[in-house]
Amino acid sequence: MAGVVSKVAVIGSGISGAVCASILAKNGISVTVFESARGPGGRMSHRRETSEDGRELSFDHGAPYFTVNSKNLEVQSIINEWESRGLIAEWKETFGSFDFSTKKFVNVDEEGSNKRYVGVPGMNSICRALCHEPGVESRFGLGIGRVNWLEDIDMWSLTSLDGHDAGHFRGVVTSDKNTFSSRFTNVTGKPPPIDLNSISDMALQIKEVPTIPCFALMLAFEQPLSSIPIKGISFKNSEVLSWAYCDSSKPGRLTSRLVYVCELWVLHSTAEYAQHIISQAGFQKPSSALLTKVAEELFEEFQSTGLDISQPYFKKAHRWGGAFPAASIAGEEKCFWIAQKRLAICGDFCVSPNVEGAIGSGMEAAAKVIKGMRLTPL
């Protein structure tokens, strides 16, 4: 790390924010990451659960894996570095499709030619490591509720969701579109932390991005599901299920501590199914009764494949209200940059609705901030 010169706040510890923070720190800019959740990762989260009989389980209940287009050399270089540090590994299992109309597996081994990468031992491992690099201070469980530009001192002032002063910063990177969109208001009833209209005439360009929801179902089985010949399944002709993954088949998962766990699976609902449930129940936090109903319905659909699927000893659903952005809005720029106020906006919604897009956006936001800081030294 070069000599530390100035402070930037990064809002969000998902992969775009974590990548951005780590690059800033490596370039001598001290960073504070603010994350409203208890831990890092955002939609690359890893969740610990305990079964009724006390077994410790853990699931990647967000992104199950990611790929990188081999022509995307910038992102590939950062991936290679993570692989050599042991933060990620290739998931080499066989993938394929299952067609509900014929009740048959199809296209086995033909699902994509790019390498599938996973974080080790969980998808959040990458963000966790990046958020703890030298020069990065991370504050988890601290959501930002207000971001104000102070013209007289040429700085940003941040306030936490519960109204406490979170500090002054020369630059801000926000990596979640909810920090400036009406979805924040739908969920919290409060105005979004950043009022783009008061900050920049670019506000009109930075559109509201609709999101696509998804329910994830975490399952633990006593015995391996030996009737299923593959470890990643995309479903065709189902209105309810889109994917199923054998989580415990990923590299670095079943440690000796988890030896009694046997086999873990994560199922993903279709967007249509999730939209239907949310249109009835609303945006607020789902009740446990609703999550139980969703868990039953997703599992019933899994069993209706006709494959031999035993009852799991653990079954729990999670709602992702905004699993994927429905549009990418930054084009070739890959992020938004408001130079006069050193504000960067990044995330998957800027480039493409996946981990690769989020990494590329976070890298570009860091490049903009580094250049901006050099142009306006203290």
Nearer to ligand FAD, 28 or 143 (CB): 143
Among 25, 166, 214, 218, binds ligand FAD (CB under 6 A): 214
Paired sense of beta strands 7-11 and 136-140, if any? unpaired
The site map against ligand FAD for 316-335 (x = CB under 6 A) is ----x--xx-----------
* Cα–Cα distance, 141 to 268 (Å, whole number): 27
By C-beta, is 309 or 363 nearer to ligand FAD? Answer: 363
Which residue from 119, 345, 354, 366 is in contact with ligand FAD, where contact means CB under 6 A? 354
Cβ 53 to ligand FAD shortest distance, Å: 27
Residue with tokens 């607020």: 284
> Dihedral sign, CA of 249, 74, 322, 107?
negative
Q: How far is the CB of 34 from ligand FAD (least distance, A)?
A: 5
Token pair for residue 208?
């509201």
Q: Should residue 42 be labelled a site residue for ligand FAD when binding is judged by CB under 6 A?
A: yes
- Can residue 353 be called a binding residue for ligand FAD (CB under 6 A)? yes
SS3 assignment for 263-292: EEEEEEECHHHHHHHHHHHCCCCCCHHHHH
CA distance 264 to 314: 9
Rg (CA), the chain: 21
Smallest gap from residue 153 Cβ to ligand FAD (A): 23
Q: Which stretch binds ligand FAD (CB under 6 A): 36-44, 219-227, 231-239, 270-278?
A: 36-44
* All residues at 6 or more sequence positions from 319 whose CB lies less than 8 Å from its CB, including other chains: 213, 215, 274, 278, 286, 291, 294
179 sits near ligand FAD (criterion: CB under 6 A)? yes
Contacts of 295 by beta carbon, 8 Å cutoff, 6+ apart: 217, 315, 316, 317
Contact with ligand FAD (CB under 6 A) among 6, 8, 10, 14:
14
**Binding-site residue total for ligand FAD (CB under 6 A)?**
39
For the beta sheet containing 336-338, the strands, ordered from the edge strand earlier in sequence to the opposite edge, are 136-140, 30-35, 7-11, 171-174, 343-345, 336-338
Q: Which is nearer to ligand FAD, 175 or 248 (CB)?
A: 175
Q: Scan residues 92-131 and list those touching ligand FAD (CB under 6 A).
A: none
* Interacting residues toward ligand FAD by CB under 6 A: 11-17, 34-37, 42-44, 62-66, 143-144, 175-176, 178-179, 193, 214, 216, 268, 320, 323-324, 347-348, 353-356, 358
